[in-house]
Amino acid sequence: DAGVIQSPRHEVTEMGQEVTLRCKPISGHNSLFWYRQTMMRGLELLIYFNNNVPIDDSGMPEDRFSAKMPNASFSTLKIQPSEPRDSAVYFCASSGGPRGYTFGSGTRLTVV
Amino acid sequence: AQKITQTQPGMFVQEKEAVTLDCTYDTSDQSYGLFWYKQPSSGEMIFLIYQGSYDEQNATEGRYSLNFQKARKSANLVISASQLGDSAMYFCAMREVIQGAQKLVFGQGTRLTINP
Per residue in B43-72, pLDDT (tens digit) is 999 999 999 999 989 999 999 999 999 999
Long-range Cβ pairs for the range B45-53 (8 Å, 24+): B45/A91, B45/A93, B45/A103, B45/A106, B45/B91, B47/A100, B47/A101, B47/A102, B47/A103, B48/B77, B48/B90, B49/B77, B50/A99, B50/A100, B51/B75, B52/A98, B52/A99, B53/B29
Residue A4 is predicted with a pLDDT of 96
Residue B102 is predicted with a pLDDT of 77
Please answer yes or no on whether A56 and B105 come within 8 Å at the CB atom.
no
Longest pairwise C-alpha distance within chain B: 48
Q: What is the mean pLDDT of chain B?
A: 93
Residue A35 has pLDDT above 90, yes or no: yes
How large is the average pLDDT for residues A59-74? 94
Residue A71 has pLDDT above 90, yes or no: yes
Please answer yes or no on whether A56 and B108 come within 8 Å at the CB atom.
no
Residue B107 is predicted with a pLDDT of 95
Residue A45 has pLDDT above 80, yes or no: yes
Residue A96 is predicted with a pLDDT of 83
Residue B99 is predicted with a pLDDT of 66
Number of cross-chain residue pairs from A and B with Cβ atoms under 8 Å apart: 51
Please answer yes or no on whether B104 and A33 come within 8 Å at the CB atom.
yes
